[in-house]
Amino acid sequence: MPPIAHAQAYPAQPIRIVVGFPAGLAPDIIARLVGQALSERLGQPVVVENRPGAASNIGATDVARALPDGYTLLLTVPTNTISQTLYPNLGFDFLRDIAPVAGLARSAFLLVVNPAVPAATVPELIAYAKANPSKLNLATPGVGSTPHVFAEMLKMMAGIEMQHVPYRGSIHPDLLSGQVQLTFVTIASSIAYIRDGKLRALGVTTATRAPALPDVPAIGESVPGYEASSWYGVGAPKNTPAAIVAKLDKEIEAVISDEKTKARFVNLAIDPMFMAAAKFSEFVADEAEKWGKVAKFAGIKPV
């Protein structure tokens, strides 16, 4: 009789990280940075596969239906929790079918306006918006996008109205020309325009100020309780063995703690934010509840 074959230690083959966005955007860049470092630690290729479309739901669906063997992972973002509320017929449940593995990082967004807007601070913007309801045109990358729900939360908490203008392409040309007056953007994509005086930064979305722009106050300093950030994590299909999740968790922590990785994140205006599986699971559930309330209050509907 042949000897009993023992299962190979994980990982015994390449690992796939599915990203629900095109190449070159922040989720893709983070997945590739982390994937490369993980590959070196695990001794197997970690391949990033871009599956953009349907507000990242195409990629998330792919992972939700994959074998729970640790070889298919998802780069998770706030959009996944927002979609949970916006799309009732996804065919999968993000909170039920994607098991949180680890949190990776977070990044602040900026509330920026065209310099023609007569507001130099968040309180001045709120006062102007109240005096001119729906006169301000708010640009976002689309309905249910991260900047959209960030803006809807500000509208909800400040009691103001703005006209939402969703874009499929770049927002910046119309924002710089004044066709639209404000938006929420990443620091990395807008800091050059701010320094050149082509855009005015009024506030950062995180609870504390951003190191890259220490003079820009947090929105929460004038709108108490306002806090929002883009975050990035790793998820796996439900029922992925606990031992595999624990191994990935341990290796991801080592990657995020590495000074080289930290420096590369900081250069992108992204803050390393490792969270182990249990804590990350609580965080994701809280985010889903938070953005669900905003989406329902604002009446956001998918298009």
More confident of the two residues 142 and 38:
38
Which DSSP state fits 162? Answer: -
Q: What is the mean pLDDT of residues 40-63?
A: 92
Q: What are 81-93's pLDDT values in tens digits?
A: 988 888 878 889 9
Please check the confidence at residue 2 and state whether its pLDDT lies above 50: no
Q: Whole-angstrom Cα distance, residue 107 to residue 105?
A: 7
**43 dihedral zone (left: phi>0; alpha: psi -120 to 50; beta):** left
Answer whether residue 6 shows pLDDT above 50. no
Q: What is the 3-state secondary structure (H, E, C) of 13-46?
A: CCEEEEECCCCCCHHHHHHHHHHHHHHHHHCCCE
Per-residue pLDDT reduced to its tens digit, 251-299: 999 999 999 999 999 888 899 999 999 999 999 999 999 999 999 998 9
Instruction: Classify residue 24 as left (phi > 0), alpha (psi -120 to 50) or beta.
Output: left
- Residues in contact with 267: Cβ distance below 8 Å, sequence separation at least 6, in sequence order: none
CATH architecture of 15-106+230-298: 3-Layer(aba) Sandwich (3.40)
pLDDT at 124: 98
- Confidence grade of residue 303 (pLDDT, cut at 50, 70, 90): low
How is residue 172 written in tokens? 């910046």
Per-residue model confidence (pLDDT) at position 7:
56
Q: Which residue, chain included where needed, has tokens 């893709």?
A: 28
pLDDT at residue 5, rounded to an integer: 42
- 163-212 residue pLDDT tens: 999 988 789 999 999 999 999 998 988 999 999 999 999 999 999 999 88
* CA nearest to 157, candidates 13, 293, 21: 293
Position 147 scores a pLDDT of: 93
CATH 3.40.190.150 domain range(s) in the chain: 15-106+230-298
Query: CATH 3.40.190.10 in the chain, residues?
Result: 109-221
Q: What is the DSSP letter of 9?
A: P
Considering only CA atoms, which of 90, 88, 91, 176 is closest in space to residue 139?
A: 176
Helix (H, G, I), strand (E, B) or coil at 143: coil
Per-residue pLDDT band for 8 (boundaries 50, 70, 90) equals confident
Of 26 and 72, which is predicted with more confidence?
A: 72
- Return the closest-CA partner of residue 153 out of 237, 226, 256, 81: 226
Q: Which residues of 241-278 are buried (b: 16+ CB within 10 A; e: fewer)?
A: eeebbebbbebbeebbeeeebbebbeebbbbbbbbbbe
Q: Grade residue 4 by pLDDT with cuts at 50, 70 and 90.
A: very low
Per-residue confidence (pLDDT) for residue 231, from 0 to 100: 95
List % helix, strand, coil for the chain (3-state, nearest 5): 45, 20, 35
Q: Please spell the DSSP secondary structure of 193-261, one letter per residue.
A: HHHTTSSEEEEESSSS--TTSTTSPBGGGTSTT----EEEEEEEETT--HHHHHHHHHHHHHHHHSHHH
pLDDT tens by residue, 131-172: 999 999 999 988 888 999 999 999 999 999 999 999 887 899
Among the listed ranges 29-43, 46-60, 233-247, which one has the minimum average pLDDT value? 46-60
Q: What is the pLDDT of residues 101-126, one digit of tens each?
A: 999 999 999 999 999 999 999 999 99
pLDDT at 89: 80
Domain 109-221 fold: D-Maltodextrin-Binding Protein; domain 2 (3.40.190)
